[in-house]
Amino acid sequence: MKAVDHDMSPDALLVPLGILELNRGMQAIQQPMFIFGHSKETSDFIADGLELWWTERKTFHLGVKRLHIELDNGPEIASSRTQFMKRLVEFVDHHRIAVELAYLPPYHSKYNPIERCWGILERHWNGTLLHSVETALRWAGTMTWRTIHPLIREITTTYDRGVRLTKTAFHPIAERLTRSEILPKWCLTIQPV
């Protein structure tokens, strides 16, 4: 019997996005959500994932007026990425909630709790034959993070890379970003208008 050890012609592409709610209130819930796309990891994919997460989960966070979001240093979500900042300003205005973005320093992913979730998922499906999208999504939903199963969602939108605004178009967006005086590249807040 012959086996192929590397499948270089996959039938589908799954791009992961992880969101881990760290509710530091009375209940101390840590609900992970894994969103899988079929296109590319872009600013729009990540913004759509955030929109999907908040639309589904905001009822669990009644009374919240500000979201504190800790991000890694991916190029798609940099504070200089015009399309990502545009999409976040739209998110803030649509949901009438302030968003504070705090970027982790380069090479410090070990401090990002969602990275630990990914590690558990990788160990969980290690050796499993993920022969279809349905199998991969179903299997991801069977892992546990601190006894909680992750919410699994799929985005089928096709995204284009390299979407960016001109300096003129970005100017009104940039004026909405209140950057930290000490760490302007790594910490900023967007308030609804």
Condensed to tens digits (0 to 9), the pLDDT of residues 91-133 reads 999 999 999 999 998 888 788 888 889 999 999 988 888 889 9
pLDDT for the residue 158: 96
> How does the average pLDDT of the chain come out, rounded?
91
Tokens 């970005």, residue located? 170
Sequence-ordered alpha helix ranges (H) in the chain: 43-57, 82-95, 113-124, 133-140, 167-174
What number of other Cβ atoms are within 10 A of residue 188's Cβ?
Answer: 20
pLDDT of 24 > 80? The answer is: no
**Cβ count near 182 (within 10 Å):** 7
- Give the pLDDT confidence score for residue 89 in this predicted structure: 98
Q: What is the pLDDT of residue 2?
A: 60
- Do the beta carbons of residue 46 and residue 37 sit within 8 Å? no
Return the higher-pLDDT residue of 12 and 134.
Answer: 134
User: Does 28 have pLDDT greater than 70?
Assistant: no
Q: What is the pLDDT of residue 112?
A: 85
Compute the distance between CA of residue 127 and CA of residue 114 in angstroms, rounded to an integer. Answer: 22
